[in-house]
Chain A
Amino acid sequence: MKFKKRLYVKNMRKLGDCMISIDKDLIKNIVSNGKRLDNREFNQYRDIIIETNIIPQAEGSARVKLGDTEVIAGVKLDIGEPFPDTGDEGMLMVGAEFVPLASEEFEPGPPNESSIELARVVDRAIRESKCIDLKKLCIKENEKVWCIFVDIDVLDHDGNLIDAATLAATAALLNTKMLKLEKDGENYKVNYEQKTDEPLPMTKKPVNTTFVKIGDAILADPSVQEEDAMDARLTVGTFEEDGETKFCSMQKGGNDGFTLEEIEKILDLAEEKGKELRKLLNF
């Protein structure tokens, strides 16, 4: 049973709103009966395909398909001046773009609050896990450091962009090759044409796992219809250190809240699902 919202919503916005609310009721009903529209278990992710090095011109790249959700992450490197308070560390920047071809909900133009949130949640998991040793990316203290730009393009939106984008970003970073650094007298110069064999100083594999609450049920990896029908969403960033799961970031979304018991349940699920996702990152 495949259910496509886009059949209803066209130029008829008000009618569209009505149909979305019928969709919501349908999803809530199905979930309250212990089922999901695509017959998955509550804690089951959709099939995930990760391909790396798909953009040869980028220093690192990955495409992730999570069910029908598709995102590409690309890594570009450059050198620049560090932030004054972290003069001995390289810089990491994550951006996300909702390309209008990915969904009829997306519009061209500057980033909206959803794409900003996506970029910041991906950034938080990667940055806070300290998976990249930014100190090793310092070229000359307070003057020159490596800058890592991770940019995420959402190509097809079928829900749970956060997990797909984080997987793509981590996979792309794991496959990044440093550029050749040349010294010209006192100045450093990057040879943008020449990649070395050296990877980024990356030791961990952070992933985000997202769960939504619909009624009393907690569902992993929400589809776009489930996101429309959700009461609240919780994303948990995890990585592994000394064989133990560590938590590095969290973000709640949606208009309702979670009880303490629900949060504890999600932390348990995040530990389990995080392990599953990290297995896909063994290249």
Chain B
Amino acid sequence: MSRIDGRKFDELREIEAKVGILKNANGSAYFRLGDSIAIAGVFGPRTVHPKHMEKAECAILRTEYRMSPFSTVTRTRPGPGRREREISLVTREALSSVLFLEEFPKTAIDVHIEVLQASASTRCVGINAASLALADAGIPMRDLIASCSAGIVNREIVLDIAGKEDTEGEVDLPIAYYPRQKKVTLLQMDGIATKTEIKEIIKLAIKGALKIYEVQKEALRKKYEEVR
């Protein structure tokens, strides 16, 4: 038995990562996982507007997850809905711990994620792009954050939920991973599972995230080579 798109149960979709793709943003990245595509742009550290959001002891991190109206099968209404605002929040919480925010008091670091095409696991693709864009902006980081989903589809535990598996599958569990500290910085789940299954799914998702982590590092190295 195989999956809807013919992949093995523990196989990721094709990955493509590019860094420094935009001129205006201080840092930017493109990340594609199969048919899910996101770009991220980073501005900052820069002056905080509105002023009252400023923090005396550290930089504030602001994240915005957005879906292009043409990214889905039926048009998505532009503007942030409840889903987008929740994803923006969990994305910020997934990325915060690797940044040296305390080095830049009274500033803001703004991360904008634009999902250009959605085929499930878009929050993971967005986080992967954002993490690369932050590194590209030269913001001091303890590590990169790599994100990947796993879940249950047709009672099989599978890696990297894609396309129809999202709506037809039983469980979707996205994670973000901080490899150096072996910490899960994003963890969400919906769908019914037993405790044993959840543990297996998380372990599989971490494996996937580690593969993505290697691709991210490679994308950054490649940019350096071009500079040289």
Binding site for B on A (CB under 8 A): 13-14, 17, 21, 111, 113, 116-117, 119-120, 124, 127-130, 232, 234, 244-260, 263-264, 267-268, 271
Binding site for A on B (CB under 8 A): 52, 55-57, 82-83, 85-86, 88-90, 93, 96-97, 173, 176, 178, 181-195, 198-199, 202-203, 206
| Alpha-carbon separation in the docked complex, A246 to B171 (Å) | 12
A264 CA to B183 CA in the complex, in Å?
13
Closest to B170 in A: A128
**Taking the nearest CB of chain B, how far is it from the CB of A18, in angstroms?**
9
Q: Which residues of the partner chain B approach A246 to less than 8 Å between Cβ atoms? A: 192-194
Q: How far is the CB of B207 from chain A (nearest CB, A)?
A: 12
Provide the residues of chain A in CB contact with B55, threshold 8 Å.
17
With both beta carbons as reference points, the residue of chain B lying nearest to A241 in the complex is identified as: B192
Q: Are A128 and B96 in contact (CB under 8 A)?
A: no
Give chain A residues whose Cβ lies under 8 Å from the Cβ of B192.
128-130, 246-248
Q: How far is the CB of B130 from chain A (nearest CB, A)?
A: 15
Q: Is the CB of A128 within 8 A of B191?
A: yes
- Within 8 Å by CB of B195, from A13, A234, A258, A271, lies A271
Do A257 and B185 touch across chains, with their CB atoms under 8 A apart?
yes
**A252 touching B186, Cβ below 8 Å:** yes
CB pair B93–A251 under 8 Å, yes or no, is no
Chain B residues within 8 Å of A129, by CB: 192
**Chain A neighbourhood of B185, CB < 8 A:** 232, 252, 256-257
Q: Complex Cα distance A83/B125, Å?
A: 27
Evaluate whether A124 and B82 lie within 8 angstroms (CB atoms) in the complex, with A247-B198, A252-B93, A258-B183 already known.
Answer: no
Q: Which of B82, B181, B184, B191 contacts A248 (CB 8 A)?
A: B191
By CB atoms of chain B within 10 A, which of A17, A257, A271 has the most?
A257
Identify the closest chain B residue to A266 (Cβ): B187
Q: How far is the CA of A108 from the CA of B184 in the complex (A)?
A: 34
A–B Cβ pairs within 8 angstroms, 24 of them? A17-B56, A21-B57, A116-B85, A120-B86, A127-B190, A245-B195, A246-B192, A247-B194, A247-B198, A248-B189, A248-B190, A248-B192, A250-B198, A251-B90, A251-B188, A252-B186, A255-B93, A255-B96, A255-B97, A256-B97, A257-B176, A257-B181, A259-B183, A260-B202
CB distance from B205 to the nearest CB of A (A): 11
Chain A hits for B57, CB < 8 A:
17, 21
